């Protein structure tokens, strides 16, 4: 059963914006604009000194709203929040997103305010996101109740929970730039009224969420979080970064074991054991999510590389092996098929190095990808698209078409592109990514993302969890 109050955050029938404003540059204006931009439910603006906000009637207070409220978005000063929360509780409001800062993060006075706010919220059983947060999105219903700009496209199935507001939003924006589409986003800031495991449980049960991304600084209720994650990973992947890994265990320990453990030890153990994919940083998080979202899961660790640069191919092969993948030499039979296509001095062993025969790139990438796809010697295909190849839109289009043609066949193998090129070629990367062929910048990031994805597959395999059709 989905948590109704968390569902009210993402799927509200009505939204009240407390602190709505017509004044450009004010928080209340940004939110008014964002919420009215794409959300089609009922919207109630609340501001005693306005008659209308962006053309919608403005109410002097929460009490005068004639309807019930599913979600309240609060942007008024911290001091005024506890009282508003009381009024919201009286009205039977289901959830509140408190954007306002100046609570427990700001010292003892703010902590007191946060406690007062939570007493009121708990009395009315209001689920509180924040305070001191960036807000939430449900992209698929066009709801942007956040400080982020614009309403993201619909049709996404990645959900992202971030403790850090600004960085989280930057990661999100970066992902949007890469044509990734999202389902639900939550920046939960101080986490005064919501636990990580509750959100995780909600997203685990959410049919619109296929991949869960977490940007964590800390986890509250680690045990519950761990138990929840263990239930979800057999069905859908969870990827998490955890910052603050390196501070040593400063406490005095009487045992050897305790003295050896660092601050990240418990997180690391919990992640490994529950099958959470650990991302080293924000970009890693996005890359892994992209690969998981757009391509099927690899059946095995064997990588076939096709490259227009020998050096890059060797670097990538090294990095793949270091990341727990395998780059096998292709069989004589497969090599023969490839040799028919490439110049005699080129290599068909794997990495397949076409060398710079750029007038034939369109044909060669397509045909070699197909040969690798059809061979039963590799499980994963990584075309390296470097410099001149990357600058040719027709090459990128051909690779995108070939990958999707292959994926339409009976057996599924993922393809990830290792992209090495200049800024002016980014438009060509769009051709691939609009077609759900993930591109990763440079060999290191490619090997890292693919290795992490295969790590998840290994977790499933060891536990005999079927991932047919995923």
Residue 39 sits in the site that holds other proteins (CB under 8 A):
no
Stretch that binds other proteins, among 179-187, 222-230, 348-356, 449-457 (CB under 8 A): 222-230
Q: Convert residues 312-351 into a mask of x (bound to other proteins by CB under 8 A) and - (unbound).
A: ----------------------------------------
Which residues have a Cβ under 8 Å from the Cβ of 330 and sit 6 or more positions away? Answer: 304, 338, 348, 349, 350, 352, 375, 377, 378
Element (H, E) at 144: strand 143-146
User: For other proteins, which is the closer residue by CB, 49 or 257?
Assistant: 257
Stretch that binds other proteins, among 25-33, 43-51, 185-193, 253-261 (CB under 8 A): 253-261
| Among residues 149, 166, 173, 258, the one that binds other proteins under rule CB under 8 A | 258
Report phi then psi at 117, rounded to 5: -60, -45
CA angle 179, 159, 439 (to 5 degrees): 30
Least distance from C-beta 234 to other proteins, angstroms? Answer: 13
| Among residues 126, 213, 219, 395, the one that binds other proteins under rule CB under 8 A | 219
| Among residues 150, 266, 280, 434, the one that binds other proteins under rule CB under 8 A | 266
Strand partners, 71: 15, 95
Query: What DSSP string runs through 386-415?
Result: ETTTTT-HHHHHHHHHHHHHHHTSSS---B
Stretch that binds other proteins, among 19-27, 115-123, 149-157, 256-264 (CB under 8 A): 256-264
Least distance from C-beta 325 to other proteins, angstroms? Answer: 17
Residue 463 sits in the site that holds other proteins (CB under 8 A):
yes
Which residues have a Cβ under 8 Å from the Cβ of 49 and sit 6 or more positions away? Answer: none
| Among residues 7, 208, 268, 374, the one that binds other proteins under rule CB under 8 A | 268
User: For other proteins, which is the closer residue by CB, 1 or 254?
Assistant: 254
User: For other proteins, which is the closer residue by CB, 219 or 342?
Assistant: 219
Q: Which of residues 443-462 bind other proteins (CB under 8 A)?
A: 462
Mind spelling out the 3-state secondary structure of 206-257? CCCCCEEEEEECCCCCHHHHHHHHHHHCCCCCEEEEECCCCCCCCCCCCCHH
Least distance from C-beta 443 to other proteins, angstroms? Answer: 25
Stretch that binds other proteins, among 43-51, 61-69, 214-222, 368-376 (CB under 8 A): 214-222
Residue 273 sits in the site that holds other proteins (CB under 8 A):
yes
DSSP for residue 151: P
SS3 assignment, position 348: coil
Residue 265 sits in the site that holds other proteins (CB under 8 A):
yes
Report phi then psi at 70, rounded to 5: -85, -50
| Among residues 145, 270, 276, 305, the one that binds other proteins under rule CB under 8 A | 270
Burial state string for 155-176 with b = 16 or more CB within 10 A and e = fewer than 16: ebbbbbbbbbbeebbebbeebb
| Among residues 68, 122, 218, 404, the one that binds other proteins under rule CB under 8 A | 218
| Among residues 23, 79, 272, 360, the one that binds other proteins under rule CB under 8 A | 272
User: For other proteins, which is the closer residue by CB, 223 or 349?
Assistant: 223
Q: Which two tokens stand for residue 53?
A: 């906000």
| Among residues 49, 246, 257, 466, the one that binds other proteins under rule CB under 8 A | 257
Q: For residues 84 and 18, is the Cβ–Cβ distance under 8 A?
A: yes
| Among residues 260, 363, 393, 434, the one that binds other proteins under rule CB under 8 A | 260
Ramachandran region, residue 46 (left: φ > 0; alpha: ψ -120 to 50; beta: rest):
beta
User: For other proteins, which is the closer residue by CB, 235 or 463?
Assistant: 463
Residue 269 sits in the site that holds other proteins (CB under 8 A):
yes
Which residues have a Cβ under 8 Å from the Cβ of 356 and sit 6 or more positions away? Answer: 308, 309, 388
- Examine residue 439 and say whether the peptide bond preceding it is cis (omega within 30 degrees of 0): no
| Among residues 122, 220, 281, 404, the one that binds other proteins under rule CB under 8 A | 220
Q: Which two tokens stand for residue 275?
A: 């099958």
Q: For residues 87 and 63, is the Cβ–Cβ distance under 8 A?
A: yes
Residue 145's nearest CA partner among 46, 11, 256, 318 is: 11
User: For other proteins, which is the closer residue by CB, 119 or 260?
Assistant: 260
Entry field: residues in the chain = 470
User: For other proteins, which is the closer residue by CB, 64 or 218?
Assistant: 218
User: For other proteins, which is the closer residue by CB, 256 or 423?
Assistant: 256
Q: Could you list the residues that contact other proteins (CB under 8 A)?
A: 218-223, 226, 253-258, 260-261, 265-270, 272-273, 462-463
């Amino acid at each position: 059963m989905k948590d109704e109050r968390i569902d009210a955050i993402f799927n509200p029938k009505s939204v009240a914006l407390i602190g709505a404003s017509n004044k450009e540059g004010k928080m209340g204006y940004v939110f008014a604009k964002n919420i009215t931009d794409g959300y089609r439910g009922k919207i109630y603006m609340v501001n005693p000194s306005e008659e209308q906000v962006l053309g919608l009637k403005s109410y002097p207070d929460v009490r005068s709203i004639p309807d019930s409220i599913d979600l309240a978005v609060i942007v008024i000063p911290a001091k005024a929040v506890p009282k508003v929360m009381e009024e919201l509780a009286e009205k039977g409001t289901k959830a509140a997103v408190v954007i306002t800062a100046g609570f427990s993060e700001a010292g003892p006075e703010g902590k007191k305010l946060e406690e007062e706010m939570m007493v009121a919220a708990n009395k009315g059983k209001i689920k509180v996101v924040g305070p001191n947060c960036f807000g939430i999105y449900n992209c698929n219903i066009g709801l942007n109740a956040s400080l982020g700009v614009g309403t993201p496209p619909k049709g996404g199935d990645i959900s992202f929970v971030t403790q850090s507001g600004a960085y989280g939003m930057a990661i999100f924006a970066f992902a949007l730039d890469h044509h990734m589409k999202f389902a639900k986003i939550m920046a939960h800031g101080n986490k005064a009224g919501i636990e990580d495991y509750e959100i995780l449980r909600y997203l685990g049960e959410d049919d619109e969420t296929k991949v869960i991304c977490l940007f964590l600084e800390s986890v509250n209720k680690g045990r519950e979080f761990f138990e929840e994650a263990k239930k979800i990973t057999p069905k859908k992947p969870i990827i998490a970064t955890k910052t603050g890994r390196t501070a040593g265990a400063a406490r005095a320990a009487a045992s050897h074991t305790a003295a050896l453990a660092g601050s990240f030890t418990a997180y690391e153990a919990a992640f490994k054991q529950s099958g959470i994919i650990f991302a080293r940083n924000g970009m890693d998080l996005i890359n892994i999510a992209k690969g998981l979202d757009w391509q099927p899961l690899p059946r095995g660790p064997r990588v076939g590389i096709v490259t227009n640069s020998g050096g890059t191919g060797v670097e990538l092969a090294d990095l793949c092996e270091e990341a727990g993948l395998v780059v096998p030499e292709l069989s004589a039979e497969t090599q023969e098929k490839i040799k028919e296509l490439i110049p005699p001095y080129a290599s068909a062993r794997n990495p397949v190095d076409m060398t710079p025969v750029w007038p034939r790139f369109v044909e060669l990438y397509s045909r070699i990808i197909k040969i690798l796809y059809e061979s039963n010697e590799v499980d994963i295909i990584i075309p390296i698209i470097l410099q001149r190849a990357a600058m040719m839109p027709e090459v990128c289009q051909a690779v995108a078409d070939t990958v999707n043609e292959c994926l339409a066949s009976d057996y599924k193998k993922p393809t990830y592109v290792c992209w090495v090129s200049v800024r002016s070629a980014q438009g060509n990367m769009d051709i691939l990514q609009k077609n759900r062929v993930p591109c990763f910048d440079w060999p290191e990031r490619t090997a890292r993302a693919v290795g992490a994805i295969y790590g998840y597959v290994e977790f499933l395999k060891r536990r005999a969890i079927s991932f047919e059709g995923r």
